[in-house]
């Protein structure tokens, strides 16, 4: 059982896991930020008992994953057969190929986590650790890195690419709304 730190200041003691960071990371996976490709290149879904079942369809996330193909070309992993895909996911040369994620990285390719040994549950489904050591969707919890309680532009763009509509931070709207209501109440009070 992990020992969690429940403070909201992004400043957990070294021995504890920052709960908000971990919850945000896992919720982001739950929103579809994840691959279902295995080390053998096959797509798999898991049932409620965690038994794997091979499927013919990739996840929505997988549809935007590309590997280098020749010097200047990229090839989506969904256009590969399973052997080619199995090689791609351990190539350490795997990228997010869609516009909003790339825009979130100031137009630069977004490297995904694809170490030379396939790590089930981590490979493909995260940003590359070396390239993005401080992002929410890095593959490892690292207490030496300062946990970040706001989702970054890269992950936000990637969620947008897979079909989510990004709206302004609700706290801004709430503040504006409560400010207007508050002003209205004060005015109402004075008129009486
Ligand atoms: Zn994760």
Instruction: State which residues form the domain around 42.
Output: 4-167
Q: What span, in angstroms and rounded, lies between the C-alpha atoms of 88 and 77?
A: 7
Residue 186 has a pLDDT of 58
Residue 134 has a pLDDT of 86
Q: What spacing in Å lies between the alpha carbon of 64 and ligand 1's midpoint?
A: 18
Q: What H or E segment, with its residue span, contains residue 5?
A: strand 4-5
How many structural domains is the chain composed of? Answer: 1
In a domain, 61, yes or no: yes
Mean pLDDT (10-residue bins), the chain, 192 residues: 85 88 94 97 93 95 94 94 97 96 96 97 96 91 69 94 84 67 61 52
Q: What spacing in Å lies between the alpha carbon of 60 and ligand 1's midpoint?
A: 16
In a domain, 159, yes or no: yes
- Which DSSP string corresponds to 171-190? HHHHHHHHHHHHHHHHHHHH
162 DSSP assignment: T
Q: What spacing in Å lies between the alpha carbon of 21 and ligand 1's midpoint?
A: 11
Q: Other C-beta atoms within 10 Å of 192: how many?
A: 4
* Residue 45 CB partners (closer than 8 Å, separation 6+): 36, 52, 53, 55
Q: What is the CA radius of gyration of the chain?
A: 20
In a domain, 109, yes or no: yes
Q: What span, in angstroms and rounded, lies between the C-alpha atoms of 171 and 31?
A: 20
> CA-based angle 175:150:152, to the nearest 5?
125
Q: What spacing in Å lies between the alpha carbon of 24 and ligand 1's midpoint?
A: 10
């Amino acid at each position: 059982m992990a020992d969690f730190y429940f403070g909201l200041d992004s400043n957990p003691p070294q021995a504890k896991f920052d709960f908000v960071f971990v919850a945000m990371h896992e919720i982001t996976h739950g929103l579809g930020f994840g691959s279902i490709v295995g080390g053998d290149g096959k797509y798999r879904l898991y049932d409620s008992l965690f038994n794997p079942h091979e499927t013919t369809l990739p996840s929505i996330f997988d549809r935007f994953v590309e590997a280098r193909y020749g010097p200047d070309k990229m090839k989506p992993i969904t256009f590969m057969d399973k052997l080619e895909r199995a090689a791609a996911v351990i190539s350490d040369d795997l990228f997010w190929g869609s516009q909003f994620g790339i825009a979130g990285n100031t137009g630069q390719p977004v490297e995904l986590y694809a170490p030379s040994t396939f790590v089930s549950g981590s490979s493909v489904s995260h940003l590359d650790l070396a390239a993005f050591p401080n992002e929410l969707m890095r593959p490892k919890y690292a207490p030496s890195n300062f946990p970040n309680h706001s989702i970054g532009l890269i992950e936000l763009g990637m969620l947008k690419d897979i079909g989510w509509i990004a709206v302004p931070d609700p706290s801004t709207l709430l503040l504006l709304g409560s400010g207007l209501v508050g002003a209205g109440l004060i005015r109402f009070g004075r008129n009486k």
